[in-house]
A = this chain, B = another copy of it.
Amino acid sequence: MNGFDTATDTTWMSPEQLELVRAQVPIVYVEAVPVRVDALGNVTKVGLLLRMAADGSISRLIVSGRVKFGERVRDALLRHCEKDLGPLALPRVPPSPAPFTVAEYFPHPDISGFHDPRQHAVSLVYVVPVDGECQPTQEALDLAWFTPAEVMSPAVITQMTGGQDRLLRLALAHVGQLP
């Protein structure tokens, strides 16, 4: 659906090929917690997509996606932010390549607390301030912004699966905003 699915893209894999690879090695992912910040750098809002999660449920999710063969981590981070938040989001990819945490998703839910029935994914997670106008793309039903307090409320947490609520707590702790 996006430009990466064209025949000229040599990193393209068929769903069958991807399934085979996923059974053999961990897959590299990037995830971005989209945030609004004030002039002092304080996180004022956290953005969450509403869409189908890896387990098939309709869930609140952060930006997430695979790093392709030959692609830089930064490029993957920008590509997935633009794919999920729209072309006018103006994400601020952090200058440092080090993620604030690494989330390890396993097909079995009890290994790490992060769960993805499709695969073993090693996900580099970043907090990404976004300055521009965001709009959910066709894959997402909604994009909503919550304060750090709201995002930790039961009403929002119960809409998250696979450990995404825990990942948000880690992100808020990293920015010193965990209540």
Contact = CB atoms under 8 A, between A and B. Distances in A.
Interface of A: 11, 13, 17, 21, 23-28, 35, 37, 39-43, 66-75, 77-78, 92-102, 104, 106, 111-112, 120, 122, 124, 127, 129, 166, 169-170, 172-176, 178-179
Would you call the interface of chain A mostly helix, strand, loop, or mixed? loop
Identical subunits present: 4
Contact of A170 (B92, B166, B178): B178
Contacts of A68: 25-26
A47 to B, nearest CB: 14
Contacts of A67: 26, 122
A101 B176 CA distance: 8
Given A101-B176, A122-B124, 11 more contacts: A13-B24, A21-B25, A26-B68, A35-B95, A37-B93, A39-B78, A41-B78, A42-B74, A97-B102, A97-B175, A173-B178
A25 to B, nearest CB: 6
B101 A40 contact: no
A120 B24 contact: no
B96 A23 contact: no
A19 B66 CA distance: 20
